[in-house]
Amino acid sequence: MTLQETINVDLKQALKSKEEPTLGTLRLLKADIQYELTKTGASELSDTAVMQILKSNYKKRKDTAVEYDKVNRKDLADRERSEAEVILRYIPAEISDEEIQNTVSKLVKELGASGPSDMGKVMGKVMAEFKGQNIDGSKVSHYVKQALSSL
């Protein structure tokens, strides 16, 4: 079952059980997915595209919760955090730092990278290696810079 189908099934289940935080969040996700479908003209989005929507929504909720905390609106911050937790259910665990470092080292050797000028080439290959998985690009960038500066 695709990620989009999973969200639709879970939305129906939340509707039946009247789980309010889950229901509201899944409705918003479904609306964002529907918007992308309308924009692209496709009948279904790939899991990668849905994952981007999920990550974007998750980041928005986390950032908004921090902003609400700054203005002492704990009630709204808690709501944003609970929505972020619902979204997090659909995002796979992030790739470990160790796995990123090992992949960077392997690809630097394979590509014959000679220094910082090869940053783009190595970054592209590393990100392609983890395509469709939950990976933090800033971590990859850090480890690639580290590996290339030591050459």
10 and 79 co-located in one domain: yes
Domain closes at, from 71, 89, 107: 89
Segment 50-103, tens digit of pLDDT: 998 999 999 999 999 999 999 999 999 999 999 999 999 999 888 999 999 999
Task: Please tell me the distance from the alpha carbon of residue 104 to that of residue 8, in angstroms, as a whole number.
Answer: 37
Helices (H) then strands (E): counts for the chain: 7, 0
- Report the pLDDT value the prediction gives residue 105, as an integer from 0 to 100: 93
- Say how many domains are in the chain: 2
Residues 69 and 132 in one domain: no
Answer for the pair 60, 52: CB distance below 8 angstroms, yes or no: no
User: Both 84 and 131 in a single domain?
Assistant: no
pTM: 0.73
Residue 119: give the domain boundaries: 97-149
Banded pLDDT at 137 (limits 50, 70, 90): confident
Residues 52 and 85 in one domain: yes
Dist. CA 144–CA 120, nearest whole Å = 9
50 with 106, same domain? Answer: no
Residues 117, 79 within the same domain: no
In angstroms, the CA 20 to CA 133 distance is: 29
**Is the pLDDT at 132 greater than 80, yes or no?**
no
Banded pLDDT at 30 (limits 50, 70, 90)? very high
Residue 123 in this model has a pLDDT that exceeds 90: yes
